Structure 1
Amino acid sequence: MAEHTAGVPFEADRDVPGLVVKFGDYPLHHGGVGAIRSLGRLGVPMYAVTEDPYTPAAASRYLKKAFVWPTTGAEDPARLVEGLLRIGGRIGRPSVLIPTDEEAAVLIAEHQAELAGPFLFPRVDPALPRRLASKQGLHELCVEHGIASPSAAFPRSYDDVVAFAETARFPVVAKNREAFVRRSRPAVHGTTRVATRAGLLALARDWGPEPGVILQEYLPREQAEDWIVHACFDRDSQPLALFTGVKVRSWPPHAGMTAHAYVVDNPELADLAARFVKEIGFTGVVDLDLRFDRRDGQYKLLDFNPRVGAQFRLFESEAGVDVVRALHLDLTGRPVPEGEQRTGHRYVVENIDLPALLAYRRGGYTTPHAPARASGTELAWFAGDDPLPFLTMLARFARPGAKHLYQLWRTHRRGGSTATK
């Protein structure tokens, strides 16, 4: 057993493999690597869907086999189900599915009957993951269940955008209404802060006759704190593992993927998340993003990802349980040991945290709940017992990755796609 599992007071079922499922072309994904390591260190045979044989995930010593399957995420669902069943047949025994994107999570939920033979996964209302992944669907659920969220509008035409702009308080935030368009036909690239009415109308001219966007209240970062919740819920929507933390930096700045975060105890937030999940009846792993608005003292739900989050390895209990381990234990009929979260632990994504640090220092932003000193650090890519994913990441990231970061940095400084004037 690897040093990372020393003292873990439980054993996983090594006869039940895990399969990391991802659709689309995003090879530098540390969440999949984290899932492979998490269960692989327990002796669970691990498999993964990869874009090509040279992704960081495919290089992990804990991966038994990579199934190379280039997809866009926009294929006919029947074709994707057929592909998963073919992979299940090659594995040859029931495997726990671990989706790392919304497309995979929604496909699994909507095709449970076809996938139930060769795979194990939480049973959920088939329509719920798609609704949660939709910005509009999530907003409607928040309203139904009394969960705070930023005020929002969902224009159906350019005229609707014009009418919104007449009364809106700027800046506002524009996002793609559905998560599934982000790799094929996004109206905006990520979270876009729009500073003025003129800027919004100029942007909207490219959205076509039916804008696929949500226009949302802007929560100023000077008056807000970014919090995250990662959890795994059983068939009765009771938490098997539930963790809270604070996001210190993200890339692109203030609007993108977590680059640096800490585990911070927040019982109020934990209760809020557990209550919402219980009321909507979700089961399985979740990754939530919330922003605490100091102006009114409310936690406002921004994103509900019905799958494993990329930074889930930030969170592990004193019993050695993270959400992926909790999922595997539960689906294989084993108890999930209780334990407090590792308060003060931090998570760093090496390839994006440095540019994020420079951007945040320039803006003078600090996170009040981040501890002065971390109790421990989990790196997204580097691990002494599994170094090849880190080296593979560096090789793939070095030239196109650096160029991409530079372009994002210039965009941020100029107030371009993330801050339209």
Structure 2
Amino acid sequence: MNKAVILGCNYYIGLSVIRCLGKHGIHTVAVDYTNDAYGARSKYCSERLIAPHYKEQKEQFIEYLIQYARRQALPPVLIPCHDSFVELIDQNLTELRKHYLIPQTEPGLYTRLMNKEKLHELAVSHGIRVPETVRPEDEHLFEKVDEIIKYPCIVKPTDSPAFVAVFRKKLFQVNNQQELVQALERARKANLEVIIQRIIPGFDDHMHTFDVYLDQNAKATHWVTCQKYRQYPINFGASVYTGQKYVQELYDIGAPFLEAVGYKGFAEIEFKKDAQTGAYYLIEVNVRITNLNQLLYKSGINIPYITYRELTGQAPVPPKAVTENTNRVFWYFFEDMLAVRDYIRTKQLTYTQVIASLFKPKAYAIWDWSDPMPAFSYAALLGGKVLRKFRPAKTDPNQSKMKG
């Protein structure tokens, strides 16, 4: 049997992939650079590897993967669970495909869809609505922002992983020209390319996702749509409380687009519904398994297993679309509590609204009654961080004597 090599298991996305495959008896291999990867504590994890750091030792990391695959009787299926892994795979796709089973066959396509500026151009060329955008180098920049974009607006990176690594946030929101100048200067000093976009009106529950698997013929075979309720950081963050909700229009927009560009494998398109016009705008495309994987699984779409079956040449999982509302929600409890705090503090939600939203069947980010160890490991890691934060700094006894 082909093994499944999962990259990035120190987060619940990797954990979810391990569970989705392990429940079908597939040999799962958790790869990370640290021994603290709580996803590898799952009872469904067959093997765990400590590899070179994927950012600090890129060449060694790729060579490590290749050497591991060479020792296997059959080529493993390679599943990245973070954008940085995707970028690295895309840069080495031709070589890695000699040793691993990977859905995408066109080098560079992952990167083009991840790059916000190139995605914008690609979407426009296919007639997809995207937020109005200007670039820092445009002539009459501030006049364009005043007339087309308007304040508040967002300064958004073209390369999200690099931006998040520096600023620990996905973008800058600016409210006036002075803040815009400051944001552009911060990006320039960090040597990061950015674009300036209009904010599509609407609360966070106007955010929707189209989650889809496209087979090796680049045809959409399995899909489900979801609606965000809360995200963290609020307004421009990741899903922490999101429900499955059937919206046919998202398929009608998203599937033809991905098929036209020749996409293969899993993708998630994020859309925002304009609160004033009702039109859906493409915000970004995720080209790897996402936060919502456990929700998709609970809704009847097991993306990692679908991927594994097709790539290993087994009988494919029959096509399926979730065209009813299951009322189930994905819930990442810890970050949702942080989000709720901020929503209430900014008066975007009330306690009553939050409490009323909680009475739905859940797809938990980490907890699973049948596989509790990852949750205990995560709690221990979290507790350790809290203790270190509040532990008093150690003092030098010699300094104390000198002071006395």
1:240-255 maps to which residues of 2 (within 5 A)?
Answer: 240-255=221-236
Deviation track 1:104-157 (CA, whole Å, cap 9, x = no partner) reads 223333433322233111133212110100010111111110111111122249
- Residues in 2 aligned to 1:50 and 1:219: alpha-carbon distance in whole angstroms: 37
Counterpart-to-counterpart distance in 2, 1:177 and 1:403: 35
Residues 13-92 of structure 1: pairs in structure 2 closer than 5 A = 15-22=1-8, 28-73=10-55, 75-76=57-58, 78-92=59-73
2:258 aligned with 1:277, yes or no? Answer: yes
**How do 1:359-398 and structure 2 match up within 5 A?**
359-362=342-345, 363-365=347-349, 376-398=361-383
Structure 2-normalised TM-score? Answer: 0.85
Instruction: From 258, 277, 280, give the equivalent of 1:299.
Output: 280
> Cα 1:251–1:386, aligned 2, differ >3 Å: closer, same or farther?
same
Structure 2 counterpart SS, 1:120: coil
Deviation per CA, 1:265-308, whole angstroms, max 9, x where unpaired? 11111221111111111001112211111222211111101111
2-structure distance, mates of 1:29, 1:126: 27
Q: Please provide the CA RMSD for this pair.
A: 2.8
Identity %: 23
Separation in 1 of the partners of 2:218 and 2:200? Answer: 30
Cα distance in 2 between the residues matched to 1:225 and 1:144: 25
- SS of the equivalent of 1:182 reads helix
Assess if the C-alpha contact under 8 Å between 1:285 and 1:323 holds in 2: yes
Contact (CA 8 Å) 1:176, 1:213: kept in 2 or not? yes
User: How many correspondences in the alignment?
Assistant: 379
Structure 2 CA distance for aligned equivalents of residues 261 and 36 of structure 1: 21
* Structure 2 unaligned regions, length at least 5: 390-404
Q: Higher helix fraction: Structure 1 or Structure 2?
A: 2
Contact 2:201–2:276 (CA<8 Å) still a contact in 1? Answer: no
TM-score of the superposed pair, with normalisation by structure 1: 0.82
SS across alignment from 1:315: helix
Which amino acid in structure 2 is aligned with residue 58 of structure 1?
A
* Structure 1 position 90, deviation (Å): 4.6
Partner of 1:206: 186
In 2, distance between residues paired with 1:329 and 1:160? 53
How many angstroms apart in 2 are the aligned matches of 1:374 and 1:16?
A: 41
Question: What SS class does the counterpart of residue 215 from structure 1 fall into?
Answer: strand
Cα pair 2:204 2:229 within 8 Å, conserved: no
Q: Which gives a bigger RCO, structure 1 or 2 (Cα 8 Å, sep 6+)?
A: 1
Secondary structure class of the residue paired with 2:317: coil
Equivalent-residue separation in structure 1 for 2:213 and 2:317 (angstroms): 10
Q: CA deviation at 1:28?
A: 4.5
2:74 equivalent in structure 1: 93
Supply the distance in 1 between the matched residues of 2:56 and 2:141 (Cα, whole angstroms). Answer: 27
Alignment of 1:20-419 (within 5 A): 20-22=6-8, 28-73=10-55, 75-76=57-58, 78-156=59-137, 165=145, 167=147, 168-182=149-163, 184-186=165-167, 189-208=169-188, 212-222=193-203, 225-316=206-297, 320-333=300-313, 334-341=315-322, 343-362=326-345, 363-365=347-349, 376-398=361-383, 400=385
Aligned match of 2:400: none
Output the CA distance in 2 between the equivalents of 1:164 and 1:71. 42
